Structure 1
Amino acid sequence: MKHRALLVAVAATVAACSPSPDVDVESADLIAGPLRPDGQAGLPDATDGPSDDDQAPTGAIAWGPCDDFGIPERTTQQTPNWECGRLTVDMDPFGVDASLGSVELALTRHRATGDRLGSLLINPGGPGAAGLPTAWGLRSAMPTELLRGFDIVSWDPRGVGRSMPVIDCGGADSFDVGYMATCVALTGELSAYLAAPYSAADMEAIRVALGEQRLDYLGFSYGSILGSEFARAHPDRVGAFVLDGVTDPLVGSTDGPFEGAFAVFADDGRDEAFDRLIELCDLTDRCLPGRSAAVVVDLLYLSVGDLATDDFDADPARVTVEDFQRLLDQSLGFAGDWELLATALDDADGGDASALASMIAGPDGDGPGGESVSNFADANFMIYCADLGRWSVDSTFCDGLPANERAVQQVSAVDIDVPMLVIGTEYDPLTPGKHAPDFAAAIGDASHLIWEGVGHTAFPGWTDCIDDAVAAQFVSNVRPPDGTRCSMIEDAVDDTELADDLFGYGESEAIDWLTDAIEVHERVDGDAACIASGMIVDGVVDDRIVSHMVLDVTSDASTVAATAAAARC
């Protein structure tokens, strides 16, 4: 069964945005969507802590509460055991200039709940994605073996999120002439120390501070570049590595991928991912019955700006073509919301864009008690220029950024004790799975695994095939045979059954979604679980009603169904 998306996302899903340079921004999309609560059967009790004999080693990080780091209240309700702290590192870890300032990295940690094996450091990619909200959102979806055996640790990379100093562009528009110069003026000397090798050096400082002999690491998307750079610099310190959603291994050379004048981190996979979405939608009556999905989408590009959103009481009041395109791009990055997309497209084809507007608006920040801090877009562009600006010689976008003396290099072979596990998603819009075998071959000591899914990154939660492979790599240092393939959803015998599952709710899944929706949106009073169960009549799930409840679309049908179920409770 595919996993259930939380209504209050911990980190914003990032899909293909293309401001001034046509550069896709990348982060692990699964961190924004489906999460399993700690209390789910099979997972350790959220209140469990390590035994006195399994305490983590003490390093140079003063761990304490996360209240000042913006942890969402929902996260602390799931488990109160998150710690946060800061680690001071050199601005230039390769230099001897004492006049340079330092960088304070913000970190978070959740202790292992069983027999401790070590620390597992996580990076969400980007570049420029913050690690703290990633860890807070990701942990509860991870396999039990990892939660019991490892301290889950992540950090906001230099210049990002709650690390200091922060990348700052003063609200400048990336389309403005002189955008990068503005960013440099406000960011200061850190501008010359942002490329991947500097963050890889920070990873080594984190390893030392954690007291680990070797680094166990889970890197998503751009995080695969950080993993490669760390292994190049510290091969004897490489523990178990899993790199999910890997880039083109030739990034950092003239042979790397380009889009027009811009060097990029990976080939553009959006067309292939979109074609797969359309193909699957056309195979099931639970998407756009009796219609061509491609035709519906094409017509909506022409009409969406004129459609009413009367059943959604928030902005946007009108859906623009640009909004619609961004939503489709985001949907390619995470297939766990395709039930919502199917309803939104169906409604819009009938003249009502309320569900589209709700999907575009997204969840309301981090929820009660959380304070979102994100400089993702500015950090993405500055780090991009630090890494790849030297190859984008026919563009002036990166002009003004001081040269970063240590620059990202193409992936090369490393001699490590534990071979890496490299994961690619066949229809990944941002880092296509075709890069995975080449990346693994370039590393040398690595095997690759392909998830036959649509989305940006594969782990965790989609299939046991993926989750078990990742857990085995960290717990036992074993990997499946090179080239192993995992189906998008287990037990789907063909694409028609796969499409039915992706675009429609199962009964238990619908009850879970409805329970969350009733608790979060408070449209009806009463016991949320009872009302949710009562909205499924004789085992029949009305996909539209479920989607409307989840999206807080106040259609007559959803209001009547919820009110009737509440009366029966």
Structure 2
Amino acid sequence: MDTSRLLRVSGTLAATAALLVSAAVSGGAAPSSAASGRAHEEVPTALRPYYEQKLSWHACPGKRRDFECATLRAPLDYAAPSTGSDLRLAVSRKKATGSGRHLGSLMVNPGGPGGSAIGFLQGYAASSYPAPVRARYDMVAMDPRGVAASEPVTCLSDADMDAFTQVDTTPDDADEVRELTAAYRGFAEACAEHSGKLLRHVSTVEAARDMDVFRAALGDDKLHYVGASYGTFLGATYAGLFPSRVGRLVLDGALDPSLSADQVNREQTAGFQTAFASFAEDCAQHDDCPLEAGGRPEVASTRLKMFFDEVDRRPLRTGTSRQLTESLATTGVISAMYDETTWPILRKALRSAQRGDGALLLRLSDAYYERDERGVYANLMPANSAVNCLDLPPALQTPGAVRRSLADFEKASPALGASFAWASLSCAYWPVPAVGTPHRITAPGAAPILVVGTTRDPATPYPWARALASQLSSGRLLTYDGDGHTAYTRGSSCVDSAINDYLLTTTPPPTSRKCS
């Protein structure tokens, strides 16, 4: 339901379809100055048992026998570590495949927050990252605290999640507003009931500290890392905390940590509109385009809004017990904006929906929410809310505030703006107060950090990459003039070669480097 602020790499969505703010150690003010990193670089005595632990690697269960798995111990609360409240974090690796000089471990994270890094490693990165990189690095991943196999945040049952995702996110009257706010309250209360102790300790800064413990357990002096989408914020936060331990960091599809939640939501709304405009222009080149807009984005947006309004009045059949509601249809369209290779599926889905069949749009929506064919949800959405609502204060706090913002959101995106505006209310009822604030990350003294931005990225708009690269004292910006979310391993040989060279030789491209 909260489709804004869910930031993850398009590869995880594509794989599913074919089938997203720092605080101090204990959750205080966010680090923002030169002193913010170095104050944490010495390992306190109380944390040494975690840093000195030895991982017991074993073959991963199931069909993943070419991967090794282990469990990493981390304190629930870094300010008061106690073995009685340790977290057990799932980690995995695939050893380097080549005979050349070993460069250490390359940690990957697909974003979210809430995306499984282990799932991304085993299902995508370890096979799709360029062979020269896989030959020289052990590919490793850790599900962040609260995510997937690492003490997952749990909230609603699968049946209740089905109901939650169908609630109207563009309420037309007072009753629908009450229904939406009740859904947000109910979701938050369920999270508090099932994961109350954990909810205070899933901040991005704590996850970044876990990454440093993992680095030490791997025996690496430096962290080498590729973070996509929200994973860029995780990587930048690590750099701010531990600048001297930064190795080669690639931050692809960057988040700007200086933005408030409201700014993130508004700018992301515009980003999805930019992506939809590209889709509309491409759609007009095909005979099966359902928009009939002649490539004019403003006409296409109007037609999409009319379609959503019609589905709001009369939900569509899907060949299952579930109907396609307006909220699910909106999520299906948003899902397809992450990767331009999904645009043909969206054309077909909209065309089928115009004939009364919402099945394909529902499948796109399910891919976004990580709901499988059995009706089982991954913990993506609970973890996403838990981290986002802890990292930043709520974007908007009352229905009245949403109403006052609607015109701006709808100006940014006529078809999607209202849904993004009401999603801004989702953290207003969270049971744990936010501990982070918007802040700049400078990471003084860090080795060169490569920030990658895509010009028509819907989820992490290109200006965010420019902003992060300028904040980081050693930031280098690589620009990809293209569509979709993130750039590495998505078809641009220019992008891939620049990142590969950096990972293999430590030499980043010049900031003026632009790929298409």
The TM-score, its normalising length taken from structure 2, stands at 0.72
1:323 to 310, 328, 338: 328
Distance 1:483 1:130, change over 3 A: same
Superposition pairs of residues 336-347 of structure 1, within 5 angstroms = 336-347=341-352
Equivalent-residue separation in structure 2 for 1:355 and 1:392 (angstroms) = 33
Question: Over residues 114-139 of structure 1, what are the superposed CA-to-partner deviations in whole Å (9 max), with x where a residue is unaligned?
Answer: 13211001111111221111111222
Partners of 1:89 and 1:205 within 8 A in 2: yes
3-state DSSP of counterpart to 2:185: coil
Return closer, same or farther for 1:316/1:151 CA change in 2, 3 Å cut-off.
Answer: farther
Q: Which structure 2 residues correspond to residues 11-22 of structure 1 after superposition, within 5 A? A: 17-18=1-2
In the aligned structure 2, how far is the partner of 1:240 from the partner of 1:169?
36
- Name the counterpart of 2:37: none
| 1:66 paired residue among 45, 60, 63 | 60
Give 2:401's aligned residue. none
Distance 1:179 1:290, change over 3 A: closer
Residue equivalent to 1:418: 447
* Paired position in structure 2 for 1:151: 138
Are 2:123 and 1:142 equivalent residues in the alignment? no
Q: Which one of 268, 273, 282 corresponds to residue 271 of structure 1? A: 273
Structure 1 residues 460 and 92: CA distance shift in structure 2, 3 A: same
The answer on whether the counterparts of 1:333 and 1:456 sit within 8 Å (CA) in structure 2 is yes
Given the alignment, which residue of 424, 433, 456 partners 1:427?
Answer: 456
Q: Distance in 1 between matches of 2:228 and 2:108?
A: 8
| Residue 348 to residue 187, structure 1, CA distance change in 2 (3 Å) | closer
Are residues 421 and 66 of structure 1, via their aligned partners in 2, closer, same or farther at CA, if it must alter by over 3 Å?
Answer: same
Aligned to 1:555: none
SS in 1 for 2:210: helix
CA contact (8 A) 1:423 1:458 kept: yes
Contact 1:59-1:211 within 8 A present in 2 as well: no
- The answer to whether the 8 A contact 2:53-2:217 is kept is yes
Corresponding position of 1:195: 203
User: Does the 8 Å CA contact 1:31/1:134 hold for their aligned counterparts?
Assistant: yes
Give the equivalent residue in structure 1 for 2:25: none
Q: Is the Cα–Cα contact under 8 Å of residues 261 and 394 in structure 2 kept in the other structure?
A: no
* SS of corresponding position for 2:442: coil
2:354 and 2:375 mapped to 1: Cα distance?
37
- After superposition, the Cα gap between the structure-2 partners of 1:290 and 1:170, relative to the gap in structure 1 and judged at 3 Å, is closer
Q: Quote how far apart the aligned CAs of 1:332 are.
A: 0.7
Give the one of 361, 374, 383 matched to 2:387: 383
CA distance in structure 2 between the aligned counterparts of 1:363 and 1:388, rounded to whole angstroms: 23
Mapping of 1:195-274 within 5 angstroms?
Answer: 195-251=203-259, 256=260, 258=262, 267-268=268-269, 269-274=271-276
Match in the other structure for 1:536: none
Q: Which amino acid in the other structure matches residue 130 of structure 2?
A: P
Provide structure 1 residue ranges, at least 5 long, that are not aligned to the other structure: 1-16, 36-57, 488-569
Per-residue Cα deviation, 1:186-221 (whole angstroms, up to 9, x for no partner): 213222211111011000000000000100011112
Tell me what 1:132 maps to.
118
Which sections of structure 2, spanning at least 5 residues, go unmatched? 17-51, 165-181, 399-424
Query: How far apart, CA to CA, are the structure 1 residues paired with 2:191 and 2:246?
Result: 34
SS, match of residue 135 in structure 2: helix
Number of residue equivalences: 423
Q: 1:285 to 1:150 in 2, by over 3 A?
A: same
What are the Cα deviations for residues 487-526 of structure 1, in whole angstroms up to 9, with x where unaligned? 2xxxxxxxxxxxxxxxxxxxxxxxxxxxxxxxxxxxxxxx
1:163 pairs with 2:168: no
Structure of higher CA gyration radius: 1
Give how far 1:403 is off.
4.8
Aligned-partner Cα distance in 2 for 1:336–1:380: 25
Structure 2: distance between partners of 1:26 and 1:130 = 12
Alignment TM-score, normalising by the size of structure 1: 0.66
CA–CA separation in structure 1 for the residues paired with 2:391 and 2:493: 35
The CA deviation at 1:339 is 2.2
Change beyond 3 A, Cα 1:87–1:362: closer
